[in-house]
Amino acid sequence: MQHLAIIPDGNRRWAAKNKLQALLGHRTGMETVRTAIKVCIKNNIKYLSFYTFSLENFKRSEEEKSYLFALLTDGFRKNLPELVAQNIRVRFLGDRALFPEKIRDIINEVEAKTAHLNKLNLNLLFCYGSRGEIAHAVKVLAQKVKDGILSIEDINEDTVSNSLWTAGIPDPDLVLRTSGTVRTSNFLLYQSAYSEWSFLDCHWPEVTAELLEQNIDKFKEIKRNFGK
């Protein structure tokens, strides 16, 4: 397996289940992210992608959004030295024009200071929506055709892939979604065409290293023929 992608659903529901403030679910979920990172490094998985903040998440309350952005900022300020020490490259993938002004500095700093690292590529899909990503790729290709850089006949799956926000990153082998929700939620729609999907009945903060290992082992047993 090269690439594990995760939709870490259920932070707020976990908090409600445990009679905690909803926002505390997000903080606990951050610890599970650390668990997933350790599991990927142990299993020599080179790419780990998280659905961190979707375009639809902008509809949430100002209080929750502010908390999430502060949690992200504080987490990276605290953990950046550890990420560098572990040889982890961090990238934020999404509509960068929508990145909140108050966290752009820390995003740029984290990406710059980890750009040369290669033990694990940690991709945070942020201000992300797959339909928006595909629309952006269409615009990029259309502009190239308009400028005479590209002909319509040269547009194929590779040129589309190379115009996506995930350009240069292999498609996910396995996509995990927690909380028992069975839908893709506008996540890597183009890239996951041949991915295996696993929908877990537990909330994200309840995910353990053992559960992740079990799903990785199950994936290894699957014979993938890509339609052949």
Catalytic residue among 18, 44, 57, 95: 57
Active site residue 57: yes
9 DSSP assignment: -
Give catalytic status of residue 95 as yes or no. Answer: no
Q: Could you please report the per-residue DSSP string of 41-64?
A: HHTT--EEEEEEEEGGGGGS-HHH
Instruction: Give the gyration radius of the chain's Cα atoms.
Output: 18
Catalytic member of 9, 11, 121, 171: 9
Nearest-angstrom CA–CA distance, 195 and 226 = 9
59 Cβ contact list (under 8 Å, min separation 6): none
φ, ψ for residue 38, nearest 5 deg: -60, -40
Which residues are tagged catalytic? 9, 57
